[in-house]
Amino acid sequence: MAEPSPILSADRPLVVGKARVESVGERDTAWTRLIFVYLACATSWLIVGTLIGVYLSIKFTAPDVDHVPWLSFGRLRPVHTNTVFWGWTSLAMIALVLYVVPKTSQRRLYSFPLAWISLALINLAVVIGGLCLMGGINNGGQEYREYIWPVMAIFASGVVLTAYNLIRTIADRGVEEIYISNWYIMGGFLWTSVLVTIAYLPFYQQNGISETVIQGYYMHNAVGMWFTPIVLGLTYYFLPKLLNKPIYSYSLGVLAFWTQMVFYTMIGGHHFVFAPTPWWLQTVAIIFSVGMIVTLAAGTGNFLLTMKGSGRTIARSYSLPFILAGVIGYFLWSAQGTLEALRSLNLVWHFTNYTVAHSHLTMYGFVVFLIWGGIYGLLPRMTGREPSHLLAGVHFWFALLGYFIYTFALMVGGTLQGVSWILNAPFIESVRLMAPFWLWRAVGGAMMFLSHLIFAYNLWRMRPLRLERTMPVAQMGALA
């Protein structure tokens, strides 16, 4: 009988065994509880928001699945986007920020009551905002600012209070330097406060072309100056901590920070290439979109060089693979955006499902993966409880494969859609050709959703042992 192949032999494990984290158990239980409750709220929004996403994707293959007005595509779509933006991603980021800022400032968070109030305000905004959108009460067809202004004012109050809480913590820091993470985090908070104000000020709400210019500015900065700098700032903390080595280059981090501030804030016009906005404005946006390659190379290079030589540590960790995937995603999918901004390619892809693929590649493959890496890196160390290692792996692979299926289907389909329009084929042909790609998107989306359920279970496994309010401040830190 032939010898069994060593590759298939039974004692070869199916997956690389993951190292148990060193449980240091955060003794400031009020802090652990705050961060856990933020994450629990965020995860609930992830489930709600992406359940709606799956339902929307089913509607593409079965448009007559319901005839209820408040479940119609036009109403549910903004509920999906706003819930995942403000409910899930924002709250999850803020949870991690509430850990990183005090830790790197070597001070306790300035005010716990303020942090709880901010949480309540943001949750309230997402609940009221979602209900209003389903009821048909919205701010018109302006993407990511569909919430009417009183609702957005509630959300903005939560953001401003958090910003104040963080600034006071940093101002009172116990070290001289402001760590690079806090540059990014504060940059994100300050920009967003300005951005939301501009986007909602009544005298910017003109109808017509100037509103389109403001919309481009708002839309791209919402993703580029809120989610992007904050998750990058978090990564500047979590990556070196989890690898137990310093970041490769502080200067590269500073270069990436300033180029982000200069280039990113100027590129909103690329959302309306060929629109009747000033041609020079579009050209500036395109040039700065190309300039973003400098930021991407500096940021990604810094992270990858920090990871160099740590392959084994990454393989044996269940948090670092998320960070690795997120860092690679940051470069690849943002660089894809640079290509989309070029006139020759925008001509093919604009208005097609290719853009939807780019949205999910970046928001999900970059931002959300880095958030998951941070959560898996932090919570077990804070609470002393680990998730199932196997289920953390299943979460990773379902999310990764799911979003690959989702986005690759739409990238291929979206390109064919664009070509069909260029060839002046009857519009219905582009709808027919999309049918199989929309089906694959629903399959990928369902896998992503399943991974979120697993993540929710893992989060529950990592809950603090005692959720009750106890003990005062302790000097001991989870990732100190």
Catalog residues that contact ligand HEM under the rule CB under 6 A: 50, 53-54, 56-57, 77, 80-81, 84, 89, 143, 219, 223, 227-228, 267, 270-271, 289, 292, 296, 334, 337-338, 340-341, 346, 349-350, 353, 355-356, 358-360, 362-364, 366-368, 445, 448-449
Three-state DSSP class for 479? Answer: coil
Main-chain phi, psi angles of 275, to 5 degrees? -80, 165
DSSP 179: P
| Least distance (Å) between residue 66 CB and ligand HEM | 15
Using CB atoms, what's the residue nearest to ligand HEM?
A: 337
341: left (phi over 0), alpha (psi -120 to 50) or beta: alpha
In whole angstroms, the minimum distance from the beta carbon of 109 to ligand HEM comes to 26
What span, in angstroms and rounded, lies between the C-alpha atoms of 224 and 263? 10
- Would you say 169 or 212 has its CB closer to ligand HEM? 212
Shortest Å distance, C-beta 355 to ligand HEM: 4
**In terms of CB distance, is 118 or 346 closer to ligand HEM?**
346
CB of 396 to ligand HEM, least distance (A): 15
Give the integer Cα–Cα distance in Å for 332 and 329.
Answer: 5
CB-based burial label for 344 (10 Å; 0-12, 13-18, 19+):
exposed
Of residues 34 and 79, the one with the C-beta less far from ligand HEM: 79
Q: For residue 73, what are the contacts with CB-CB under 8 A and spacing of at least 6? A: 56, 59
Which is closer to ligand HEM, CB of 28 or CB of 146?
146
CB of 81 to ligand HEM, least distance (A): 5
Q: CB-wise, 102 or 130, nearer to ligand HEM?
A: 130
Minimum Å distance from CB 437 to ligand HEM?
A: 11
Structure-token pair, residue 187: 């940059």
- What is the identity of the amino acid at 268? G
> How far apart are CB 300 and ligand HEM at their closest, in Å?
11
Q: Residue 256 or 341: which CB sits closer to ligand HEM?
A: 341
Strand, helix or coil for residue 450: helix
Q: Which one, of 249, 251, 228, 224, lies nearest residue 239 by Cα?
A: 249
Beta carbon nearer to ligand HEM, 53 or 377:
53
The three-class DSSP label of residue 89 is helix
DSSP 406-442: HHHHHHHHHHHHHHHHHTT--HHHHHHHHHHHHHHHH
CA-to-CA distance for 41 and 258, rounded, in angstroms?
A: 33
Cα distances from 330 to residues 103, 336, 360, 415, in angstroms, run 25, 10, 12, 22
Q: Which is nearer to ligand HEM, 180 or 367 (CB)?
A: 367
State the nearest-atom distance from the C-beta of 115 to ligand HEM, in Å.
23
Minimum distance from residue 101 beta carbon to ligand HEM (Å): 21
- Give whichever of 105 and 352 is closer to ligand HEM, judged by the CB atom: 352
22-39 in b/e form (b: 16+ CB < 10 A) is: eeebbbbbbbbbbbbbbb
* Under 8 Å between Cβ of 216 and 272: yes
Minimum CB separation of residue 27 from ligand HEM in Å reads: 33
Q: Helix or strand or coil: residue 7?
A: coil
By C-beta, is 153 or 294 nearer to ligand HEM?
Answer: 294
